[in-house]
Amino acid sequence: MSGAQGAKTCPQCGGIDTCLWEYQTRDGSEWEFCERCGHRRRRIALRDRKRMGQVRSSVKELLRQGRIDEAVEICGITVRHHEVPQKVVEDFINDTYIPFLKMTKDGYLIYRVYEWRGHGAYSIGLNGTGQLGSLHHNNDIRKKQITSLLSLRNSHEVKVIEVLDDGTIREY
């Protein structure tokens, strides 16, 4: 599986190169997160669980009967000369994507998009590693979250950016 990553302008706060994004070539899924305002967006390909279950049942039955070549054919996979066919098929039916994604009648993948307005973001760092996150949408919870994050300043590198209701950005 491969993908692409980068930074772009945030659609919410307009921060240049503050919105991190990732694209998965395997299924076309996308993810983005603004480290300035906490804006988040996900686009995921929907799985066809009914078809996936039918094919998995058929393949498992063929494997149980020792009919490995037929199972390989149903899965539509290629088994390299150094691989054990049964193991390849079992791995395939336990972690499959493309054959079991929902598609339109025209053959286009169907996606669901989730988008969350950002209310702020934080980063916590220690010894060259770190974590990014977004602040909660509820004002009371967000204030407790900020207090908790700022209490880590004695031992960690902490940066907190809050987006107020009027759009003003406050850095801590």
Q: pTM of the prediction?
A: 0.70
Least confident of 29-43, 89-103, 125-139, 144-158: 89-103
pLDDT tens for 63-98 read 889 888 887 777 766 667 667 777 777 777 666 555
pLDDT above 70 (res 23): yes
Find where tokens 């603004």 sit. Answer: 34
Query: Bigger pLDDT: 25 or 172?
Result: 172
DSSP string, 45-58: EPB-HHHHHHHHHH
pLDDT tens for 32-63 read 999 999 999 999 989 887 877 777 788 888 88
